[in-house]
Structure 1
């Protein structure tokens, strides 16, 4: 009996041991290895995970995506020293713009229109190539002649080419031309003409100040014929604005000139050749100056206004031209008179194909800018 009981007990033990083996052969996961075998398994799984490629992570704000534009080569900006082709237009070409406050940032010719004293007035601004737009530049107000033709004004418009070489801004205001008139400047201060040219030119200068960086201590005015006479009136009535003026053929027509401060003056005259002054004729004044004598009187008048201490001295004497200068004037100003032997109203040194040449003994353009830039 004991023997049978022992056999049954052994059989039950065998069945108990067989059950885990059968369970291991099924779907149950294997048991983890113990001891060193388990450590080796862990290291192996780590190495296997390291060899797998990392999953692509979404881009975040701290790591911005690279733009296609960033891969392209960066173009260098065009420097101011490069030559810039100016638009092929004349003084009267191109439609005027009415926006006179927007900054000008490129070289070229720009025409503008503004309202002044109930009238539409126009002007042109010439910005030279190579101008440093961040540095204050000199400004020259160039006044055309109203009673002379294109031939006489050719040298005045040549100041734009001089500005390209010397890097100054040039502005060309246009005289008001009523129906049937010659469009001269209101240069006389005796009354009779209603056009406020002094106020108009002052507004033009103010507009150019808004459009470009201009040096307040380097503003000049120059004119041909009655444009030169207009420059004298500007010196009389706006001496705080203009440091120096120059005139080619136009004498000072003012009768009430009392500037608050001295203004340097350069006058070009022809030897004993009278010039018609439309501004004086329109205002009821005389119709012509008296040649060299009128120029001499104009220079002497400004020498007195500027408080010059000595008589004029000859500073240039050559075939076809001479120049005299008053020195030791207040605030280091100067009054200079240059006389040439050319005939007819013309700009000394100007050359216009097919026209009678002006005197080439001296160049009014280079002499003028040398005079201005030395003030």
Structure 2
């Protein structure tokens, strides 16, 4: 259950965002702050949240970090709960958080009754966006294209991260449009794309997951949301070894365990990079954020790791 203070802050954030909903996306005049835009794609009215950092300066160069929320999530809740505003202000980057699609786009998103999801390429019929065959790849390409056209100083690169179903969407984007992102970080999600669809020039990959995550089992297996079957996931290590080949890495890799984190590092050619962090005893949570769901569903939130900091260090912007 969300704490009262967190809920109050989230409501305030939502009100602030709503004030800028209809801002013209073609503007060339940008100020620090949060913006919400709508974008028509494939007969759907899609939306995304954009955050310009506190000390934004048109004369400086910036990176764009794309953040994909988890299944049933929302851009604003992810923005607030994972501290993206303070982090973007501290590190001085631009953040964009797109919203997935929902069954009834005319009604507000609701985790229980109108969940937002991503078509992550999994083929899972219990994921709404997958069942509806939503063109999320096209939407993301169009959204980022708009931003690169209208914000002139995004020159440090475009990178992406996501959680759970959003992590799987991150994997899909990296596979289907490998030239778009310089690096990606997927947290507690699965690369569902088959070996027959390799990326020719895939971005560098950081993967973070918990060893006791019931919704992303480390050793693979069936997953359930309550009593509802939600697919069968592959073994995490086997999944990452696919990327060893995609990134042209050596067959051998090293592991090191410190502070309840098991680190896998690969030697890769052509300046590629592949790294995995297995968080021992950690469940289905964004590391460093507050837990919003009961332990019985998502497992324990045990790690001291701050995923934002770890991702930033990996991206090396």
What is the TM-score of this pair, normalised by structure 1?
0.66
Q: Please list every run of 5 or more consecutive structure 2 residues that lacks an aligned counterpart in the other structure.
A: 1-10, 105-112, 124-129, 218-222
Deviation, 1:153, is 4.4
Change (3 A) 1:328 1:239: same
Distance 1:115 1:173, change over 3 A: same
Flag structure 1 segments of 5+ consecutive residues without an equivalent: 1-86
* Other-structure match for 2:188: 249
Alignment deviations for residues 311-349 of structure 1 (CA, whole Å, 9 cap, x no partner): 2212x52132121111223x3111111011344311112
1:144-173 CA-to-partner distances (Å, cap 9, x unmatched) read 0014699x9478732332111111100000
- Give the C-alpha shift of residue 98 in structure 1: 5.8
- Report the equivalent of 2:116: 183
Matched ranges for 1:157-168 at <5 A:
157-168=82-93
Alpha-carbon distance between aligned partners in 2 of 1:353 and 1:224, rounded to the nearest angstrom: 14
**1:299 match: secondary structure:** helix
Deviates more, 1:215-224 or 1:115-124: 215-224
Question: 1:310, 1:328 within 8 Å by CA — same for their partners in 2?
Answer: no
Alpha carbons 2:81, 2:290 under 8 Å: kept: no
Offset of 1:108 from its aligned partner? 0.2
- Corresponding residue for residue 367 of structure 1: 310
| Partner residue, 1:117 | 42
Does the CA-based 8 Å contact 2:74-2:116 persist in structure 1?
Answer: no
- Contact 1:248 / 1:269 at 8 angstroms: preserved in 2? yes
Going by fraction, where is strand more abundant, 1 or 2? Answer: 2
Cα drift, residue 369 of structure 1: 0.8
C-alpha change, 1:299 and 1:217, in structure 2 (3 Å) is: farther
Would you say 1:142 and 2:67 are equivalent positions?
yes
Q: 1:98 to 1:108 in 2, by over 3 A?
A: closer
**Partner deviation per Cα, 1:22-42 (whole Å, 9 max, x = no partner):** xxxxxxxxxxxxxxxxxxxxx
Instruction: Give the number of aligned pairs.
Output: 277
Counterpart-to-counterpart distance in 1, 2:230 and 2:311: 28
Mapping of residues 217-232 of structure 1, within 5 Å: 218-232=157-171
Structure 2 distance, partners of 1:92, 1:288, is 40
Structure 1's 320 and 154: CA in aligned 2 closer, same or farther, altered over 3 A? farther
Question: What is aligned with 1:32?
Answer: none
The counterpart of 1:324, out of the listed 264, 268, 273, is: 264
Distance 1:321 1:155 in 2: 26
Task: After TM superposition, give the deviation of residue 289 of structure 1 in Å.
Answer: 2.6
Counterpart for residue 94 of structure 1: 18
Q: Normalized against structure 2, the TM-score is what? A: 0.77
Higher helix share: 1
CA distance in 2, matches of 1:265, 1:219: 14
Distance 2:292 2:245 in 1: 41
Answering whether residue 260 of structure 2 is matched by residue 287 of structure 1, we say no
Question: Structure 2 CA distance, aligned partners of 1:370 and 1:104?
Answer: 30
1:298 is matched with 239
**Are residues 92 and 175 of structure 1, via their aligned partners in 2, closer, same or farther at CA, if it must alter by over 3 Å?**
farther
Residue 18 (structure 1) aligns with = none
Q: Deviations over 1:163-206 (max 9, x none)?
A: 11111100000001113552210011657542010111111111
Per the TM alignment, residue 259 of structure 1 is displaced from its structure 2 partner at its CA by: 1.1
Q: Secondary structure at the match of 1:113?
A: strand
Q: Counterpart of 1:46?
A: none
Q: How much does 1:354 deviate?
A: 10
Match of 2:214 in 1: 274
Report if aligned partners of 1:349, 1:364 keep a CA contact under 8 Å in 2.
yes
